């Protein structure tokens, strides 16, 4: 299976994604993006130093320069690219994937993402070619963007005095910045899994998997904190738990952000096909324009930019902001939610209850080879509602809806169901799940 995916290049180090590929990507990326440089940031995975060394060699052999911004988060690259005027940027990370993985997230000018249909397929073909060393090799130029990045994201920080917060960066890259951002913010702050260790010794760095959030939930309850905040491995995603230790579905967290952001500008808010209709209702209540997009950061960023929207979000915990180059940022999302909680005289659980009006399944995964066949079977059985095929199949009925789609990153069929009450939800989840399981091949 190719390591060139829908949104990035990703795979197990030494199996498809290796030092030779890193060299080739480095060599051919300047050609692909018509650039004389490549800005590179990287996470702290064990394979990153070797991949970085070989990628730099490729860039230099092409006659282009490396702009090295060091070990950082993915949002740091999204900040540094436009700030430094980079035409080609790359973050070396495999996000939440286990330690044996690594990958490359590529952006062009203005932090615009390069997906499979917008350049990665061409890069895949280029990488099959041979590299010849340029007569005038490039050079490595180091850029220290830390202070500028800290100042940039601090624009979203508000008065957090009186708030009790627990942070879990999952031993991932947000640990590089958290203490500097929050140690003097006036809040009572506790950190767990702060040390950057991309072997992820305490739990997988994926806040969408509920078992990974248990440690944070327990710490919030133990300390009587107002909120828990968890980042994924490269810190472009964030998730929250309330003061009772209850997990907040990321689409509902988007709904929580809506009012404060639409108070700035009554603009478009982007949401993905798996989003609760409660969020759509909240966008309309606050005077915004809701617009659905396909799942994936490549699609969300493009649509948000096209609409000049102010805010976007996905069920995976990506939140996108106009003033962040239309890119996703876990820390900006955290600042906004923390500010809302700090300003309110009600607990987070009550604020969420105002929005979360419906019974919601979350994402249910089925491992299957015959994904297209299964989607057709489900659609043929459950076809009496309003049909939408923007991303997989979404069918809306009067009192419930479902979305079923193929994952672009993993070998799964993903199902989401929402209903007006728990009884309907349980009935529909059971019926669709049994139909899928009985036809898996």
Strand partners, 313: 271, 319
15 and 141 assigned to the same domain: yes
Residues 382 and 267 in one domain: no
Give pLDDT, residue 25: 99
Domain annotation covers residue 411: yes
Give yes or no: residues 75 and 165 share one domain.
Answer: no
pLDDT at residue 411, rounded to an integer: 82
Per-residue confidence (pLDDT) for residue 410, from 0 to 100: 78
- Look at residue 1 in the predicted model and tell me its pLDDT: 72
* 345, part of any domain: yes
* Structure confidence at residue 293 (pLDDT): 97
In a domain, 219, yes or no: yes
Q: What does the pLDDT read at residue 409?
A: 74
Do 80 and 14 share a structural domain? yes
Q: Is residue 3 part of a domain?
A: no
For residue 230, the domain's CATH number is 3.40.120.10
Contact 231, 207 (CB under 8 A): yes
Of 111, 146, 181, the residue that ends a domain is 146
Closest by CA position to 92, among listed 25, 14, 174: 25
Question: Does 1 fall in a domain?
Answer: no
Are 309 and 412 in the same domain? no
Supply the range of the domain harboring residue 196.
161-247
As given in the structure block, the two tokens for residue 323 are 């003033």
| In a shared domain, residues 26 and 133 | yes
Cα 349 from Cα 390, distance rounded (Å): 33
| Last residue within a domain, chosen from 324, 342, 357 | 357
Same domain, 65 and 79: yes
| Catalytic residue (one of 35, 64, 95, 329) | 95
Sheet holding 164-168, edge to edge: 188-191, 164-168, 227-231, 238-241, 247-248
Residues 374 and 440 sit within 8 Å (Cβ to Cβ): yes
430: annotated active-site residue: no
Q: Residue 201 has what pLDDT? A: 98
- Mean pLDDT for back-to-back runs of 10 residues, the chain (441 residues): 92 97 99 99 98 99 99 99 99 96 98 97 98 98 99 97 98 98 95 98 96 99 99 99 98 99 99 97 99 95 98 98 99 99 98 97 94 97 95 97 90 96 99 98 89
Number of domains in the chain: 4
Q: For residues 71-106, b (16+ Cβ closer than 10 Å) or e, as one string?
A: bbbbbbbbbbbbbbebbbbbbbbbbbbebebbbbbb
Residue 152 lies inside a defined structural domain of this protein: no
pTM here is 0.96
Domain assignment present for residue 104? The answer is yes
Name the 3-class secondary structure at 177: coil
Among candidate residues 247, 268, 295, the one where a domain is terminated: 247
**424 & 318 share domain:** no
Distance, CA of 305 to CA of 103 (rounded, Å): 25
Q: Contact 10/100 with Cβ under 8 angstroms?
A: no
């Amino acid at each position: 299976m190719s390591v060139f995916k829908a949104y990035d290049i990703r795979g197990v180090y030494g199996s498809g994604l290796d030092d030779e590929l890193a060299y080739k990507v480095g060599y051919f990326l300047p050609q692909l993006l018509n650039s004389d440089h490549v800005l590179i940031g990287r996470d702290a995975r064990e394979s990153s130093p070797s991949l970085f060394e070989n990628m730099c060699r490729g860039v230099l052999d092409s006659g282009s320069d490396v702009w090295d911004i060091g070990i950082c988060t993915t949002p740091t690259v999204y900040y540094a690219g436009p700030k430094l005027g980079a035409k080609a940027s790359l973050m070396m990370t495999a996000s939440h994937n286990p330690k044996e993985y690594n990958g490359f997230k590529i952006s062009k000018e203005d932090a615009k993402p390069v997906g499979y249909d917008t350049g990665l397929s061409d890069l895949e073909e280029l990488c099959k070619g041979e590299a010849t060393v340029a007569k005038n090799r490039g050079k490595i130029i180091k850029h220290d963007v830390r202070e500028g990045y800290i100042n940039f994201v601090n624009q979203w920080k508000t008065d957090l005095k009186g708030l009790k917060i627990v942070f879990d960066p999952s031993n991932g890259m947000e640990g590089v910045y958290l203490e500097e951002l929050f140690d003097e913010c006036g809040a009572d702050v506790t950190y767990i899994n702060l040390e950057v260790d991309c072997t992820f010794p305490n739990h997988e760095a994926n806040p969408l998997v509920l078992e990974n959030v248990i440690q944070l939930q327990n710490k919030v309850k133990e300390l009587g904190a107002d909120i828990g905040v968890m980042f994924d491995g490269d810190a472009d995603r964030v998730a929250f738990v309330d003061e009772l230790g209850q997990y907040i579905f990321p689409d509902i967290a988007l709904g929580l952000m809506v009012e404060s952001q639409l108070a700035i500008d009554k603009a478009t808010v982007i949401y993905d096909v798996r989003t609760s209709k409660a969020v759509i209702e909240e966008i309309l209540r606050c005077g915004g324009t809701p617009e659905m997009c396909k799942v994936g950061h490549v699609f969300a960023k493009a649509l948000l930019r096209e609409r000049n929207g102010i805010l976007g979000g996905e069920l995976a915990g990506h939140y996108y902001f106009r003033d962040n180059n239309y890119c996703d940022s876990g820390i900006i999302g955290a600042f906004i939610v923390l500010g809302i909680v700090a300003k309110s005289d009600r607990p987070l659980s009550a604020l969420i209850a105002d929005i979360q009006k419906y019974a919601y399944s979350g994402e249910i995964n089925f491992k299957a080879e015959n994904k297209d066949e299964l989607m057709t079977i489900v659609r043929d059985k459950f076809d009496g509602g309003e049909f939408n095929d923007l991303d997989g199949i979404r069918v809306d009925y009067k009192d419930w809806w479902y979305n079923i789609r193929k994952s672009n990153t993993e070998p799964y069929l993903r199902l989401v169901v929402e209903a007006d009450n728990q009884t309907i939800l349980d009935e529909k989840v059971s019926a669709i799940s049994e139909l899928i399981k009985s036809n898996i091949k």
